[in-house]
Structure 1
């Protein structure tokens, strides 16, 4: 009887350990961004985004400085408006583009990432994107369909959108843990972009409050896919709130300024704006991960992207992943 009890206890403990240490090397997910998620009645500036992700964790050597390495693939679309999705709401109507304080624009792309996550809880994420800004990014068609489907107003003014430009963009993101005590930690986050679509850099702190894991296996660094845990996670699940303020320097933004290497076409109705070289962003959110699911809810508040914009802008983001072998 005692032997059976001992065996049952061992099996239970082993089962608990396996559940705790269980890993998944693949995950697929979707992110949707929209300013309507904040229920503030706005439909302006960065108004809608949809993204599809697939991530696969690669093997790392047991004696390597790497704790995790994740290969990712993604595709997405971003849609931008001026102060309204229809300038017909303003005096002069669609024949008066003077009310376009941020250009109509869409960005459609596909890309790949490679994320190196180290023992010291730093990581380097390299990205490349190939896409299109302009009518061939189908912003007008998608926005018109969405507004018609859900009974919103009919968009107008897309004849003034940014002209077609093929985009190649490279980026690097570096993060590093600064300090951690119990249920609170602070990390440095930074990035740099280089390309004919978007160029610039930014940095700021990431503050997390709650149950979180190390940065080499956390939603905070897009590393919840992992081949094998070399280090025991801090928690079986993640559930934490976070705050991410960031200072951004904008060198070029083709969704605002138009093509970097293309001159103005005399027959074009394109309306561009003057970018603000510096921008502050604030993101607050809640993150959750468990054995199979990854979820993030966020609200992002940005200062003005252009000199002409009449207001700052904000939007909500909902991200979900399913993890599997």
Structure 2
């Protein structure tokens, strides 16, 4: 399964240069974007829980539709013919987002090779996501379908050992106790509204969000918001990667590609009522290690984003409430994102 997902990722990447097709008239106005993000709890002084995550995101320009627009590669238009039920319509602006993500979750004690019953399971996961954003003025709705695999086929052990070998960290010894292979899916929908903003040099805005997800990967309802202040704020829906329309993946009503420096700081929060989380509840159809999760969790974060020309760099730090009853410390992790408009 992981080889199939990897092949799909290569096909999407090979198709991505089609965004530069001269027939895509909107390219020069609102160009496509590539985002690369790395999450790691070492940025927060830990090495446990959500230990590491890597995500590559391909963002289309604004689209006329999802099946005919030449701004999309042919492969994307073909796939979209079968996903009409989750695609928005009747909006002023819309775009498509494709993501490839790998995530690793580990318990606290790296030295134990036995099953640690009161700590979270070892989990590695590889996911492909297809997202659809639609905007009317200061309101946005986004829907994302994620498909992938958790378990040994996701190669969590190999990825973590490779990273720890590079940075000189200790190897986790309990990967023989990780969750079994299982294909997973999650359908997530969220709605956002932007308040404030300014056409001047200095400005602020606030973005509210609410939504939920259903699937074998996770099922939850969430609500939260983000506040930003800075120099030449982007006309988008937030800078935090905790949301599916974060990282400038939402359509913009205008863009600034000049050489002037742009920057802003942001504060963000998200609260969730969690009905299922496979990384804590264990495998869906087989017996496996699990812990008693907390039904209500929350995250707060702060960060800084710097932009110049076609480039954007963002650094953030997040802290959450305890995710399961026997968790020794609240989770803390950091995130670094680099983006480029093509």
The TM-score normalised by the length of structure 2 is: 0.75
SS at match of 1:140: helix
Higher relative contact order (CA 8 A, sep 6+): 1
Instruction: Please point out which of 175, 182, 189 is paired with 1:165.
Output: 182
Conserved? CA contact 2:30–2:254, under 8 Å: no
Matched, 1:242 2:266: yes
CA displacement 1:86-132 (0-9 Å, x = unmatched):
143xxxxx23524x51111111111111111211x110111011111
Judged with a 3 Å threshold, the aligned counterparts in structure 2 of structure 1 residues 249 and 164 are, in CA distance, closer, same or farther, namely same
> Aligned to 1:54, which of 50, 54, 58?
58
1:25 to 18, 24, 31: 31
Is 1:213 aligned to residue 234 of structure 2?
A: yes
Q: Quote the offset at 1:150 in angstroms.
A: 2.4
Indicate how the Cα distance of structure 1 residues 238 and 193 shifts in structure 2: closer, same or farther if over 3 A, else same.
farther
Corresponding position of 1:306: 324
Q: CA deviation at 1:71?
A: 0.9
Contact kept? 2:235, 2:253, Cα under 8 Å: no
Distance 1:58 1:232 in 2: 12
Task: Give the Cα–Cα distance (whole angstroms) in 1 for the partners of residues 249 and 55 of structure 2.
Answer: 18
Query: Does residue 169 of structure 2 align to residue 152 of structure 1?
Result: yes
Assess if the C-alpha contact under 8 Å between 2:239 and 2:266 holds in 1: no
Q: Distance in 2 between matches of 1:50 and 1:231?
A: 29
In the alignment of these two chains, the number of paired residues is 283
SS at match of 1:136: helix
Deviation at 1:232, TM superposition (A): 7.6
1:263 is matched with 286
TM-score by length of 1: 0.79
Q: Tell me what 1:198 maps to.
A: 218
Distance in 1, Cα, partners of 2:227 & 2:33: 25
1:162 Cα deviation after fit = 1.5
Give 1:131's aligned residue: 148
SS of the aligned residue for 2:164 comes to helix
Q: Structure 1's 184 and 65: CA in aligned 2 closer, same or farther, altered over 3 A? A: farther
Q: Secondary structure at the match of 2:326?
A: coil
User: What pairs with 1:29-48 in structure 2 (closer than 5 Å)?
Assistant: 29-38=35-44, 40=45, 42-48=46-52
Change (3 A) 1:188 1:274: same
* Structure 2 residue 105 is the aligned partner of structure 1 residue 80: yes
* Shift, 1:81, TM fit: 0.8
CA-to-aligned-CA distance 1:200-221 (integer Å, 9 cap, x gap): 01111211111313336x6564
- Which 5+ residue runs of structure 1 have no aligned equivalent? 1-21, 89-93, 265-269
Structure 1 residues 193 and 133: CA distance shift in structure 2, 3 A: same
- Between structure 1 and structure 2, the one with the greater Rg is 1
Closer, same or farther: CA 274–159 of 1 in aligned 2, 3 Å: same
Contact 2:305 2:315 in 1 (8 A): yes
SS in 2 for 1:295: strand
The separation in 1 between residues aligned to 2:313 and 2:306, in whole angstroms, is 5
Contact 1:126 1:173 in 2 (8 A): yes
Cα 1:28–1:131 shift into 2, 3 Å: same
Q: Deviations over 1:7-34 (max 9, x none)?
A: xxxxxxxxxxxxxxx6342111210000
For 2:157, the equivalent position in structure 1 comes to 140
Gaps of 5+ in 2: 1-27, 66-88
Which of the pair is proportionally richer in strand? Answer: 1
Once the two structures are TM-superposed, the CA of residue 288 in structure 1 deviates from its matched residue by 2.6
Contact 2:141–2:191 under 8 Å retained in 1: yes
More moved, 190-199 vs 176-185: 176-185
Contact kept, 8 Å, 2:115 with 2:177, in 1: the verdict is: no
Deviations 1:183-206 (A, max 9, x none): 222221223111011110111121
